[in-house]
Amino acid sequence: MSLLKFTQQALSDFQKTAAVAPSSRYLVQAMVEPLPLANAKVVVEFGPGTGAMTRELLRRMPASAMLIAFEISPSFAAFLRQEIRDPRLVIIEAGAETCAEHLRALGVERVDAALSSLGLSLMRDQQVHDTLRGLLPFLEPGSVLTQYQYLQQIRIHLGRIERYRVSATLRRYFPDVGRDVIWRNIPPAYVFVCRK
């Protein structure tokens, strides 16, 4: 997908896409590096978009592992199916808040690592909490979730700008939440590393 097409898709529904440009290799590295992928059996990705992080996850995962990607945009889901022909990739065309239902349907009992590109500060509170609550029972000690955000102190809710701390939301579910800023991304992004 060209940068122009990505931008058109992103701007047509920014609320769902939560991005204006594909992730840089620096952001991809910061998101993937903390994940325990070497021996992973099941990895979950929320909001793969055009697959910048998906490709790196597949590159680092074992041949026997499965990557379950939740993508709500039909055009991004179709693009991923066409461009990434890896039998380990399972694309679920649904919102991340439905993850528990879909993981159970796939017979998944444990998720070793999860990566989220969701725009938490643009989502309804219920969606955010349903997503994290749905994922949490599948994570065990040692499991890691990485999450990035462009805005981490504010949110736009019902047309108003409000104070919103992404880290506080993540700490409700994870006792250990680290944060870094990736300046070499457009725009710069905050990366949160959440350990159970």
Determine the Cα–Cα distance for residues 26 and 190; give it in Å rounded to an integer.
12
* The residue type at 10: A
CA 40 to chain CA mean position, Å: 17
Sites in the chain below the pLDDT cut of 70: 1-21, 152-158
CA count, 13 A, side-chain hemisphere, 104:
6
- pLDDT in the model for residue 153: 65
Residue ranges of domains in the chain, CATH in brackets: 3-195 (3.40.50.150)
Number of Cβ atoms within 10 Å of the Cβ of 79 = 20
132-185 pLDDT, tens per residue?
999 999 999 989 999 999 976 666 666 777 777 899 999 999 999 999 999 999
Triad 58, 87, 52: Cα angle to 5°:
35
> How much is the mean pLDDT over the chain?
89
